[in-house]
Structure 1
Amino acid sequence: MAVQEHQRPPDVVLVRWRSGRIHISTDGRTTVCGSVIRPDRARIPDDGTAWAEQVDCYNCAYRYTPPGYIGPTSGRDFPLKRECPAHPGRGQAAGSCHLCDPLVLRPQNWPCPNGCTDQLDHSPLSRYTRCTVFPPLRDAGPDGRCPDACESTELAMRRANPGLYFDLADSASMTCYHCGGEVCVGCQRVAVDGIFGFCVRCGDEL
């Protein structure tokens, strides 16, 4: 159940010891970590801060993590961080994923050698950026293969987009961009009969 910014569930009480540490209590008599609450040594704080972000007792927060917050793993996890609403239960903080903030992920190929002005067009989650140039396909011959030299998908994309990096599949270097047939794994230009094949020249060099 979601808890509003400055609201506490009716069964939760915050308790501040005179030492300054703030605990959680669900019955008003003992803290979640097991300490007995004495009125002369504790008080309920109300400084305007979100109640869950005031707690700094590790044992209390670990055993009773407030809804919508990440449970602590050490004493350095205070104040508690809000949980990413897009990844509930995964321990990911709000604002730390691309769904919360697209700028969290560092854009690839930036600044853009093609002249893009928006770095969001270079999301690393996309194999091809929005400014990617796809070269025109050549007409295939009667046999379905390129009448001249073939060109692998990897070579074609690099030729049309100099300076850009692409996270291409392994097959991009083994298949022709234009006719879709297999090409030499070495030079990526000569048509071969099977995948992982080498042309005569590349085979001799190996």
Structure 2
Amino acid sequence: MTTPPKETALEQRAAEGAKMYSPSAARNRDNIRDVFVQTMPQEGEILEVGGGTGEHAVHLAAALPQVRWFTGDPDETARASIAAWIADAKLGNLHGPHAIDVTAENWDASLAAAYEGVVSINMIHIAPFTAAEGLFTGAGRLLRPGGKLFLYGPFSRMGVHTAPSNDAFDRSLKSRNPDWGVRDLENDIVPLARKNFLTLDQAVEMPANNFSVIFRKN
């Protein structure tokens, strides 16, 4: 296994052929899985956007064999990694990679409104806010009534960072790209949910000052 010299996303990732290994995914995948299994649908179809290396998709699809999991990423290198993880995992319920980009206008137009879940892990803080807007617009249309949208990552609450480290992380993100940043759950994200017929169901505190946030389709 070798490590590429360039930074991918916000971390150095080891690679073995096309397959990439995310240190952050290795640290948090069990915690995310545990909350996901407790809060999300146990069967039906789930769409993951911004799938990154593909490690979370494999971990979650393995934990929920009755779910048909569709994952992908707009980045070509990420899709190659996802394809490699899918091939090695040999899970009959894991499909992809798609190339969905939630910042694209009407990205969801070709998809049927038939999903029990939509998932985005560690995406909206390292993307322009149009990604969050597009994600919620699509989820509002694609989810069945009672279906759920699952987000994971850092959030501020009511305009206040939950830890000094998140404040520093937010400033670091904005120094890299002024369109990035830690989003505020109540002020930035909940209004998007309401606009798209979604209601905040749970906000679960996670290690390292992150949250798993679950919205339900009305």
Give the TM-score category using the shorter length: under 0.3
Structure with bigger strand share is 2
**Superposition TM-score, scaled by structure 2 size:** 0.20
Choose between structure 1 and 2 for higher RCO, CA contacts under 8 A separated by at least 6 residues: 2
Larger radius of gyration, structure 1 or 2? 1
**Superposition TM-score, scaled by structure 1 size:** 0.21
Structure with bigger helix share is 2
